[in-house]
């Protein structure tokens, strides 16, 4: 759904990869202060799902239900909550970007794979 939206309304052909996550971060920034809380919660769900698939396709791993939240876990890392990453970037003045969270997870996963 997000890929179709990006192609049809933003003239962007995105994939489930780092470039797709970069696009996601820019798009989330463009939404800040432009929608109601209800609209944002609906967007957070859709964008968080897209973000989770990007993580799965790029880093590998799986979804787990941990401490009453869905988290994406890869390797020995604790993982991240894709929905909370999107929510944080959308709702705060000084967001931690979805791209920064991806980079941190990717780094921790690659370090856990080293002998």
Residue partners of 67: CB distance under 8 A and separation at least 6: none
Q: How remote is the C-alpha of 16 from its chain's centroid?
A: 10
Quote the mean pLDDT of the chain.
Answer: 86
The whole-number pLDDT of residue 39 equals: 81
The whole-number pLDDT of residue 77 equals: 64
What Rg, from alpha-carbon coordinates, does the chain have? 14
Residue partners of 115: CB distance under 8 A and separation at least 6: none
- pLDDT tens, position by position, 42-89: 899 999 999 999 999 999 888 888 788 888 887 766 678 999 999 999
Per-residue pLDDT for 106 more than 70? yes
**What is the average pLDDT across 86-100?**
83
Per-residue pLDDT for 95 more than 80? no
Q: Pick from 31-40, 43-52, 77-86, 91-100 the range whose average pLDDT is largest.
A: 43-52
CB half-sphere exposure, 19, CA atoms < 13 A? 6
**What is the average pLDDT across 88-102?**
83
Q: Give me 101's structure tokens.
A: 């969270």
DSSP-derived 3-state class of residue 5: helix
CA distance linking residue 7 with residue 5, whole number of Å: 5
């Amino acid at each position: 759904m997000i890929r179709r939206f990006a192609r049809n309304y933003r003239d962007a052909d995105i994939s489930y990869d780092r470039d797709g996550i970069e696009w996601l971060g820019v798009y989330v920034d463009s939404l800040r202060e432009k929608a109601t809380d209800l609209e944002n919660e609906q967007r957070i769900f859709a964008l968080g799902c897209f973000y989770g698939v990007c993580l799965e396709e790029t880093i590998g791993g799986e979804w787990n239900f941990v401490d009453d939240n869905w988290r994406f876990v890869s390797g020995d890392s604790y993982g991240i909550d894709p929905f909370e990453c999107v929510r944080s970037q959308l709702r705060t003045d000084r967001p931690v970007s979805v791209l920064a969270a991806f980079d941190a997870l990717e780094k921790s996963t690659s370090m856990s794979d080293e002998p």
